[in-house]
């Protein structure tokens, strides 16, 4: 046996063997330190049959280095050696070399599915086999660490679930994914050789947690999906994606799962479609997935949300499936059976993101008309704000307050009636009027300040 121990062992911080010492800090922190030590141990154990790893001949067939692309980590630079080391450290022999490219090349919709929680080996394998047989699913998912809102709820089976996911991949050929919330989760998943990781909404809210995960992933090329934060904060979502993108060399995708809101509502989490649309405007190169299960909260609404996501041009869907959803240990109301998933996918209408060449002229004509109307609308808004300035001066001259509640109530009632006659949605008109009112108050306040006689000191 190599004096450094079996491949994968972790000597004490900063030490290797007698008389040999490594730096005490590494890219990626503790995770990076262990990765360096594993690689060095593996070099020493290269030809030891007791190492328990596959032969070098198998690794030669795959370019693991091209997929995981280590950065800033001590590693043998020769391609043959680096491929072998990445193979035995990551231990992912199912689809990883091509997964990075394949998820980007999947035709819409990319489908990621599986149970909310891995509950037992039998439940995971039964669901996975049904999904694999459907030939509708590209990636199998299951949560093994479940951050719950309140204590004493089922919080996942933990690390044993990784063994079940590995068995899913071995028996079905489906790549596998799970959620991570800290560096320890990342290390366990990398050790198990999972294909994809995702960061949940409860984690995305914390830049500290996201940075910890990013540091643990530094130098890898594993694909990572980043869910939106629980509350509607576009900048926080963008920041999380940027942190992960700066650390990993593989694909980083966004995932829309809706936003928490207080009170009774149709959906479990408000879709607020304008937020993912805003993210795509800022980061157009980032593919967008949708999680209809968490938005809907009820299985009878999953199809409606999934179709809306496809109509908005999203790249794919993550839908929770369970072989016995009524008996699920978490989120039973929103999970569907694998058979129902097949029906849902078959019934989706997948529209083209871009118009066919023969239809493009008609679309451009309609867009020109829209541009003309928008220009007129901007001119009308400018005229309205000029009137707001005059009203501000009038109120100043006559000692009146800016906010006149009776007038505001009158505006809401009359404009709401006008909009209703033209079939415009009440929520849209309410939001529009609120923004116009805010801007009018700002303009009037600015006008009063500029024209007030402020005594000089």
Indicate if the pLDDT at residue 204 is higher than 60. Answer: yes
Nearest to 54, CA basis, from 92, 80, 97, 82 = 92
Tokens of 414: 């009359």
Helix (H, G, I), strand (E, B) or coil at 34: helix
Give pLDDT tens digits for 317-347: 999 999 999 999 999 999 999 999 999 999 9
For residue 261, the 8-state DSSP code is: -
Of 36 and 184, the one with more pLDDT: 184
Distance CA 258, CA 450 (A): 43
Do 96-347 and 365-451 come out as alike in CATH topology? no
The DSSP result for 173-232, as a single string, is ---EEEEE-SHHHHHHHHHHT-SEEEE-HHHHT-HHHHHHHHHHHTT----EEEEPPSS-
Taking alpha carbons only, the member of 123, 98, 65 closest to residue 335 is 123
Q: Given the DSSP bridges, would you call strands 288-290 and 316-320 parallel, antiparallel or unpaired?
A: parallel
Residue 256, Cβ neighbours under 10 Å: how many? 29
Where along the chain do its domains lie?
Answer: 1-91, 96-347, 365-451
pLDDT in tens, 350-374: 988 776 777 677 788 888 889 999 9
The mean pLDDT value for 142-146 works out to: 94
pLDDT value of residue 318: 98
pLDDT category of residue 262 using cuts at 50, 70 and 90: confident
Residue 290 in this model has a pLDDT that exceeds 60: yes
Please give the CATH superfamily to which domain 96-347 belongs.
Aldolase class I (3.20.20.70)
Collapsing DSSP to helix, strand or coil, 12 comes out as coil
pLDDT tens for each residue of 9-63: 333 333 333 343 444 444 445 455 555 555 444 334 333 333 333 333 333 333 3
Give the domain 365-451 fold: Chorismate Mutase Domain, subunit A (1.20.59)
pLDDT value for 151: 81
Each residue's pLDDT tens digit, 207-260: 999 999 999 999 999 999 999 999 999 999 999 999 999 999 999 999 999 999
Q: Are 7 and 84 in contact (CB under 8 A)?
A: no
Place of tokens 């001119």: 379
């Amino acid at each position: 046996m190599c004096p450094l121990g079996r491949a994968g062992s972790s000597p004490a911080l900063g030490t290797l063997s007698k008389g040999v010492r490594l730096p005490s800090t590494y890219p990626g922190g503790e995770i990076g330190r262990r990765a360096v030590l594993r690689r060095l141990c593996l070099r020493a154990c290269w030809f030891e049959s007791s190492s328990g790893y596959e032969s070098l001949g198998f690794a030669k067939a795959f370019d693991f280095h091209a997929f995981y692309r280590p950065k800033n980590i001590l590693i043998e630079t020769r391609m043959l050696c680096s491929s072998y080391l990445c193979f035995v450290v990551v231990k992912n022999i199912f689809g990883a070399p091509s997964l990075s490219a394949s998820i980007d090349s999947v035709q819409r919709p990319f489908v990621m599915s599986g149970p909310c929680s891995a509950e037992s080996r039998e439940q995971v394998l039964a669901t996975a086999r049904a999904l694999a047989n459907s030939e509708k699913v590209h990636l199998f998912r299951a949560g093994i660490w479940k951050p719950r809102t309140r204590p004493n709820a089922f919080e996942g089976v933990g690390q044993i679930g990784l063994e079940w996911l590995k068995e899913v991949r071995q028996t079905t050929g489906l790549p596998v994914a799970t959620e991570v919330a800290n560096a320890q989760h990342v290390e366990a998943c990398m050790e198990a050789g999972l294909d994809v990781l995702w960061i949940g909404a409860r984690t995305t809210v914390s830049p500290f947690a996201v940075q910890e995960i990013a540091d643990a992933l530094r130098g890898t090329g594993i694909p990572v999906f980043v869910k939106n934060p629980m509350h509607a904060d576009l900048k926080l979502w963008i920041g999380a994606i940027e942190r992960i993108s700066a650390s990993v060399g593989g694909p980083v995708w966004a995932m829309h799962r809706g936003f928490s809101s207080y009170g009774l509502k149709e959906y479990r989490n408000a879709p607020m479609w304008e937020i993912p649309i805003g993210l795509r405007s800022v980061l157009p190169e980032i593919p967008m997935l949708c999680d209809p299960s968490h938005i809907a909260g009820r299985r009878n609404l999953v199809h409606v949300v999934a179709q809306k996501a496809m109509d908005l041009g999203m790249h794919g869907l993550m839908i929770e499936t369970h072989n016995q959803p009524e008996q699920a240990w978490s989120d039973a109301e929103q999970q569907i059976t694998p058979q129902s998933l097949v029906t849902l996918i078959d019934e989706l209408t997948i529209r083209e993101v871009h118009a066919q060449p023969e239809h493009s002229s008609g679309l451009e004509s309609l867009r020109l008309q829209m541009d003309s109307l928008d220009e007129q609308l901007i001119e009308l808004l400018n005229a309205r704000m000029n009137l707001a300035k005059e009203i501000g001066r009038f109120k100043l001259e006559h000692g009146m307050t800016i906010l006149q509640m009776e007038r505001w109530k009158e505006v809401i009632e009359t404009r709401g009636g006008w909009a209703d006659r033209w079939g415009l949605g009440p929520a849209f008109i309410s939001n529009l009027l609120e923004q116009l009112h805010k801007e009018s108050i700002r303009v009037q306040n600015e006008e009063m300040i500029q024209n007030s006689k402020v005594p000089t000191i």
